[in-house]
A and B are shown apart, each in its own frame.
Chain A
């Protein structure tokens, strides 16, 4: 008879220092003041939100002189209803929606944005959404994403955009 398989659990814990770049710090200050900003490339005119400090297409450096403000409203281009698996450290208990949103004035979408205020079965591509501010700006920022200043997004009530308006931004 063979012995039963035995298991050893080894927990690995690595600590990292999170450093926000000067470009991300400036973006964070603006978010705390209720403004969503991006950098407009002086060569191609694309608006990057959040700003990167460069245009990856033209490889030119951008800075505060290239800063533009975009609207806190946009079009939902794609989404997922997530069922949280209960692994160690999981804080989510219920199903929730994460979406990509094309902000008015930005050239690309922002990802992993929480959408509330609508039954999950009614969330759809092309839906217009607006920001619900009042979140904790100190939460959830590793120097990317939109920081925690926006709690989530909700339907704005405007008519849906036709797919021609956002189809290039669907992942």
Chain B
């Protein structure tokens, strides 16, 4: 495997809502900041992966427009995931393993304030049994809280608007760009069954396997940032990852939450606040999909 590190991270200001700019305009400053921090330009990027959801924008192919923030002419090598930005980071990491490019950009954006998120998220459910019931994230949160014997939540964290960008670099290029690259010691993502009725909701098998594959338990962890929307999700995740403490989500900017948690974990290593950190991202009902990344100085 090639040594790959996160060398820069820039999120938008936390807690934004009612953003008037386009998603592309929201991305411009975070991409600019992520590049400026390490003194490179868009021309230095060998691969770009974006993440967003057309169902938040309410328009088909909305994701194509965000590419305009990357300087995609002459044509660049790029990809998109209809997932949280942490999965774009994962694809960028995979792409850097190919060995022919040394620097990659991953970013994500989501404007939640223009849609009814409880409706939008129920559309991701299976169309036969669950979508017709319009089961929303709070209903799932309450079901899962009961499964672990916790008080069911009465509301989810506020959905906010956000964008974030990370730059990844391989080997010596990473060492040139920053004093303390956040080396990706392990990264893995797993998914549980789509239908919540066939799962044991009191635990997260996919988070456990992802954590094990990423090597969370190989050495002590200084700090962990988990995409936990509710206290009970934090308990399930800490149990699955073998952690005693982790920071959860204060607000939930969909499509960006996970990238912010993973990017913040990497940034703790870059800034020298931690020597070993864990970042986690989640998607789907009741922590269905989980991504775990371990960063080391």
Size category of the B interface is: 20 to 34
Interface flag for A93 (CB, 8 Å): no
Contacts of A22 in B (CB 8 A): 20-21
Decide yes or no: A14 and B28 within 8 Å by CB, A19-B20, A21-B20 being known contacts. no
In this complex, the member of A16, A52, A61 whose beta carbon has the largest number of chain B beta carbons within 10 angstroms is A16
When chains A and B are docked, how far (Å) is the Cα of A54 from the Cα of B68? 9
Cβ contact within 8 Å between A18 and B123 = no
* Stretch of B78-86, B113-121, B149-157, B163-171 at the chain-chain interface: B113-121
Cβ contact within 8 Å between B22 and A16 = no
Contacts of A53 in B (CB 8 A): 21-22, 25
Q: What number of A residues sit within 8 Å (CB to CB) of B? A: 22
When chains A and B are docked, how far (Å) is the Cα of A19 from the Cα of B26? 14
Cβ contact within 8 Å between B42 and A59 = yes
CB 8 Å contact bits of A21-53 with B (1 = contact, 0 = none): 111000000000000000000000000000011
CB 8 Å contact bits of B117-154 with A (1 = contact, 0 = none): 00110010001000110000000000000000000000
- Closest chain A residue to B32, Cβ basis: A59
Cβ contact within 8 Å between B22 and A56 = no
Q: Least Cβ distance of B160 to chain A in Å?
A: 15
Decide yes or no: A52 and B68 within 8 Å by CB, A10-B132, A21-B22 being known contacts. yes
Interface flag for B242 (CB, 8 Å): no
Cβ contact within 8 Å between B119 and A61 = no
Interface flag for B274 (CB, 8 Å): no
Q: Which of B55, B71, B120 is A59 in contact with, Cβ under 8 Å?
A: B71
Decide yes or no: A56 and B71 within 8 Å by CB, A14-B58, A18-B114, A21-B25 being known contacts. yes
Cβ contact within 8 Å between A52 and B123 = no
Contacts of B127 in A (CB 8 A): 10
Cβ contact within 8 Å between B20 and A17 = no
Contacts of B120 in A (CB 8 A): 14
Interface flag for B213 (CB, 8 Å): no
Q: Least Cβ distance of B212 to chain A in Å?
A: 38
Contacts of A142 in B (CB 8 A): 59
Cβ contact within 8 Å between B114 and A59 = no
Q: Least Cβ distance of A110 to chain B in Å?
A: 16
When chains A and B are docked, how far (Å) is the Cα of A142 from the Cα of B72? 25
Interface flag for B69 (CB, 8 Å): yes
Contacts of A17 in B (CB 8 A): 113-115
Q: Least Cβ distance of A72 to chain B in Å?
A: 25
Interface flag for B202 (CB, 8 Å): no
Residues of B within 8 A of A (CB): 18-22, 24-25, 28, 32, 42, 55, 58-59, 67-73, 113-116, 119-120, 123, 127, 131-132
Residues of A within 8 A of B (CB): 10, 12, 14-23, 52-54, 56-59, 61, 142-143
A-B pairs, 8 with minimum CB distance: A56-B68, A16-B58, A59-B71, A17-B114, A57-B73, A21-B22, A21-B21, A16-B115
